[in-house]
Amino acid sequence: MFWNCIQPSLYSSPYTCIDALKYADAYRKAHYCNEKITSILHVLYREFNIADSGEDIEKTVISALRKLGFIYPEIQKTIGFEQSDLGQLDVITPAGWNLIRAETVASMQECYLRAMATPIHQCGDNLYFSPLCWTLAILLELEKRGLEPAVDFIEMATVIQTSDPSDGLASTVDRLCDLRMQRALAARKRSFDRDAYIECANRFGRKEHTFKDYADMNMRYLKASGMVQSKGKGIALIPEKRALAIELAKEPTSDKPLLELYRTLCNGSPLPTDNTIIANQVLRDLLDQIQNYGLKYSIAGKPLDTPAHINQVRHEIEELIAKKKEEIYAVHQAEQWEEIAAYMDLLASRREKLSFKNETEIRVPKTEAPAYLEWSLWRAFLAINTLTNKPYEVRRFKIDQDFLPVCTAPGN
């Protein structure tokens, strides 16, 4: 077993996919055409010379949009049902329209969460699982064992993405902890890592770099769900999302017919917080979490009679926490001046990656360079540390939970 959320590619950044879908729909409306989204994307990519690296667009953004159910995916003849049973190939799905209408990072991430929580990856005869829910189950199992709910890059590359629920949760986490212990005892970490990748390559019949490429892309899309955040080169469960993660991890597999699962994917998979009781449980946990940031929030007088009302209050609290985290992030930017300068050097050189200071590697996807330029300048102003405004008041571009840019600031 060797799963991937999305095929690794420079152009399949989660937020690049959102931009592509929105621009394609705007182009379709402006030109009064009824062409498929994929045909319009081909025109746009060539018009703006985005595809000049020689990568096949069909295997990048379009592949991601199909796999996440934002446009109707191609149904193979061997899958057990017909294309007509699901929807016309490459037409925007109800889930895709929700993504197009999403204006905030939180609403975009919820679209990805609904897509990635859908169990459409096979892990046995007529049994399917969600890699996101499986990863959350592993993080929560680590927490049960008294460990931090976090994993390193090599643990994602060689253990998590090479496992599924059929391997057993306890045995998978045992294998992860064994790898962690052996690496901690290894005198030469690089040699240990190299041997671990070679062992995986031999076991699965793949090249060594494949595991790194897939782990990098898997973590990017897992973070796009809003459930996990960066920790070093790995990922960690976001504390405020713990209660929701517990609910998502309860049923990592499904034996429903594949057509039903695909329809769920394309319509937007239901979340536990769509249920009033569970939405209330998640809200109560969040009210406890907000106190860890020295913040207060009163629900007195707030309507909490429906999941929509409850989730609206939850989103307000999450926004308060996000702003507090950004204020803390801003305070530390003066200490990060070397990294800020490195990003500016990288952008000026028009390269895609750069190593600096103890071989720390930074990357800027080619299609996201304008957003990273605005972001680097924003960080530079924060590092000067003379702003009287709040950090989120002096930027017009959106950032994710890792404070990385999602898009450029709007015009005007």
The per-residue pLDDT for range 12-34, each reduced to its tens digit, is 578 878 888 887 888 777 776 76
pLDDT tens profile 364-399: 877 788 999 999 999 999 999 777 889 999 999 999
CB atoms within 10 A of CB 125: 6
pLDDT the model gives residue 226: 96
pLDDT the model gives residue 52: 44
Can you spell out the DSSP letters for 301-329?
T---SSHHHHHHHHHHHHHHHHHHHHHHH
Scan for tokens 């989730």, then name that residue: 311
The encoded tokens of residue 360 equal 């720390």
pTM over 0.75: yes
pLDDT the model gives residue 54: 41
Backbone angles phi, psi at 337, to 5 degrees: -60, -35
- Of all residues in the chain, the percent with pLDDT exceeding 90 is 72
Q: What distance in Å separates the CA atoms of residue 119 and residue 265, rounded to the nearest whole number?
A: 9
Judge whether 273 and 244 are in contact, CB under 8 Å: yes
pLDDT tens profile 228-277: 999 989 999 999 999 999 999 998 899 999 999 999 999 999 999 999 99
Q: Is the pLDDT of residue 310 over 50?
A: yes
Backbone angles phi, psi at 356, to 5 degrees: -150, 160
Judge whether 386 and 403 are in contact, CB under 8 Å: no
CB atoms within 10 A of CB 190: 8
Backbone angles phi, psi at 355, to 5 degrees: -105, 140
Where do the domains of the chain lie? 14-267, 273-324, 332-393
